[in-house]
Amino acid sequence: MNCKNFPAFLIILILLTISASCSKSTTEPNDNNMSDFPIAGTNQTTFYNNLGEISTPGPNDPFYGQDATYPDAGTSYTDNGDGTITDNITGLMWVKARGSKMTWDEAVAGASANDTGGYDDWRMPSIQELYSLFLFSGKNGNSVYSTEGYVPFIDTDYFDFEYGSGIGDERIIDCQDWSGTEYVSTTQYDQPTVFGVNFADGRSKGYKKFLPPTWTELNDELYVRYVRGNTGYGNNNFHNNNDGTISDLATELMWSQNDSSEGLDWQEALAWVQTQNTASYLGYNDWRLPNIKELHSIIDYTRSPESTSSAAIDIDYFTCSTITNEAGEEDYPYFWSGTVLVDGPSRMGCYIPFGRAMAYMDGVWQDVHGAGSQKSDFMIGDPANYPEGHGPQNDAVRIYNYVRLVRDI
C-alpha cells in the first residue's frame, strides 16, 4: 500500500483501529453477551466394565459406547499470571486461589468485594459453571482419612486445591465448593439447600446451609471459587424439531425427546443405545449415551418434584418417565451417563437424578441430595440387597436407571 495516496486522517484512523485490535487480551473471557454453552471435556480416556479397566471395546463388544469412546472438546486453560485462570473452552475466568472455608452467606457477600486480577465483576458461580471444571480422570482412594490413591477431579496444574485434613471428624473429602444455585426445594430435615461440587470425590449435590443440631444457628462452611465472564453460560437454547428430537443450539447437541421408558443396568444401557442405532431411531444411527457433563447440561434447576410437580428438566421440550420411589411417592428416574467414577476398589457408573435423590436417613426415605445432583451407583447387581441404602448417607441403590439419547447436531 502506498501511503502517499491516502489522506493523513485515514492513515491515522487505520493505525488506531489496528492498535485497538492488537491491544485486546487473548485471555479475556468471551463477551458477556455470549449465549453459547460449550461443554468442556470430561478427560476420561480409560475404558471400564462393571469391575475394572478393559482394553478398548469394538462396536460389537460389550461396554462399547461409554465416555472414552467419543472425542470431546477436551480442556484448555490459560494462567493469566494475575491470580486468574481462563477456561478457553467455556470462556469463563476463575480465581486460581483456593481461599478458605466460609458460610454460603459469606461467600455470596464476598463476591462483590473480590478484586483478584484487578476485576470488579466477580460472581458466585452457578452450578453449571462450577460443574464445567470437573475432570473424571480423578480417582478416590480406599480410605476417607488418607489421600493415598486419590487424584483430584480438577486440574491442579492450574487451580489451587487441597483435601480435607483426614484428622478427627474431618474426612479427606470434606472440602466441597459452594455454587450460587439454591435448590428450589428442601432436603433432609426440610432444610434450605444449595448445590455444590466436591472436587475430591467426583460428586455434586445439595448441601444444607445449616448443620445439626442447631440448624438455624450453625452455618455450614464450604469453599468458594469466584467466576466472571460469559454470563450466558448454562443457558440452553432448545428447539423442537417436531420429529421426536430436541436440539440445544447452545451446546450443539441433539437429544431424544423421550427417554428409554425402562430401567437398565449400565451394560444394558450401553447396549440399548446401539440397538437404537441399528434401528436408525428417529432417523439417526449415531446416538450415544451422554457423558456426565452432557447429561448435566439439560438439568433445569428451576424445577423439582416438590416445587413444580415435575422432573428437573424443561417439560416444554422433554418428556420424562415417572416411577414410584423408595418412599412410595410418584417421582422421576435417575439417568445413566457413559462416565465412570473410580471409587477406591469399585467402579461406579455416574448418574443424575431428575427426581428426588433419595437416601434412608433417620428411619425414613427422603430427598437428601436434591433433584439435579450427580452421584454414582453400582453398575450391576440386585437393588433388593440394599433395602436401607448404601454408603455413609444410605443412598438409594437402584442400578436399573433410565437413558436419554444424545448425538452431535
Is the per-residue pLDDT at 198 higher than 70? yes
Which range in 18-22, 35-39, 60-64 is most confidently predicted, on average pLDDT?
A: 60-64
The answer to whether position 63 is within a domain reads no
Out of 5-19, 31-45, 167-181, 239-253, which region has the weakest mean confidence (pLDDT)?
Answer: 5-19
Looking at residues 384-404, what average pLDDT do you find?
Answer: 95
Residue 132: predicted pLDDT:
98
The answer to whether position 84 is within a domain reads yes
Whether residues 291 and 351 share a domain: the answer is yes
Percent of the chain residues past pLDDT 70, beyond the cut: 89
How confident is residue 211, by pLDDT bands cut at 50, 70 and 90?
A: low
- Give 244-294 pLDDT, tens digit per residue: 999 999 999 999 999 999 999 999 999 999 999 999 999 999 999 999 999
The answer to whether position 27 is within a domain reads no
Of 168, 201, 228, the position where a domain reaches its end is 228
Whether residues 271 and 193 share a domain: the answer is no
Residue 200: which residues within 8 A CB-CB, separation 6 or more? 140, 150, 152, 153, 163, 164, 172, 173, 174, 175, 176
Whether residues 250 and 363 share a domain: the answer is yes
Three-state SS for 191?
Answer: strand
Whether residues 189 and 268 share a domain: the answer is no
Question: CB under 8 Å, gap of 24 or more: what pairs does 264-268 form?
Answer: 264/336, 264/400, 264/401, 264/402, 264/403, 265/379, 265/380, 265/381, 265/399, 265/400, 266/50, 266/336, 266/349, 266/379, 266/380, 266/401, 267/49, 267/50, 267/62, 267/63, 267/379, 267/380
Whether residues 253 and 370 share a domain: the answer is yes
The answer to whether position 335 is within a domain reads yes
- Residue 25: closest CA among 113, 91, 95: 91
Contact 96, 107 (CB under 8 A): no
* Residue numbers of the domain that contains 138: 77-228
The answer to whether position 88 is within a domain reads yes
Residue 213: predicted pLDDT:
55
- Give 100-143 pLDDT, tens digit per residue: 999 999 999 999 999 999 999 999 999 999 999 999 999 999 99
The answer to whether position 25 is within a domain reads no
The answer to whether position 21 is within a domain reads no
Whether residues 188 and 328 share a domain: the answer is no
Whether residues 224 and 353 share a domain: the answer is no
- Residue 124: closest CA among 112, 138, 136, 141: 112
How confident is residue 186, by pLDDT bands cut at 50, 70 and 90?
A: very high
Looking at residues 196-201, what average pLDDT do you find?
Answer: 97
Whole-Å CA distances, 402 to 13, 81, 306, 320: 60, 45, 21, 10
Whether residues 180 and 308 share a domain: the answer is no
The answer to whether position 295 is within a domain reads yes
Is the per-residue pLDDT at 150 higher than 90? yes
Q: What is the CATH number of the domain that holds 174?
A: 3.10.100
Looking at residues 388-406, what average pLDDT do you find?
Answer: 96
Q: Which residues pair with 247 in a beta bridge?
A: 239, 254
- Our count of domains for the chain comes to 2
Whether residues 260 and 131 share a domain: the answer is no
Residue 294: predicted pLDDT:
98
Is the per-residue pLDDT at 26 higher than 50? no
- Residue 106: closest CA among 239, 14, 226: 226
How confident is residue 36, by pLDDT bands cut at 50, 70 and 90?
A: confident
Which range in 27-41, 86-100, 206-220 is most confidently predicted, on average pLDDT?
A: 86-100
Q: Whole-model pTM? A: 0.90
Mean per-residue pLDDT of the chain: 91
Of 200, 228, 256, the position where a domain reaches its end is 228
Residue 214: predicted pLDDT:
53
Whether residues 275 and 150 share a domain: the answer is no
Of 182, 204, 228, the position where a domain reaches its end is 228
Looking at residues 379-390, what average pLDDT do you find?
Answer: 95
Whether residues 94 and 224 share a domain: the answer is yes
Whether residues 213 and 88 share a domain: the answer is yes
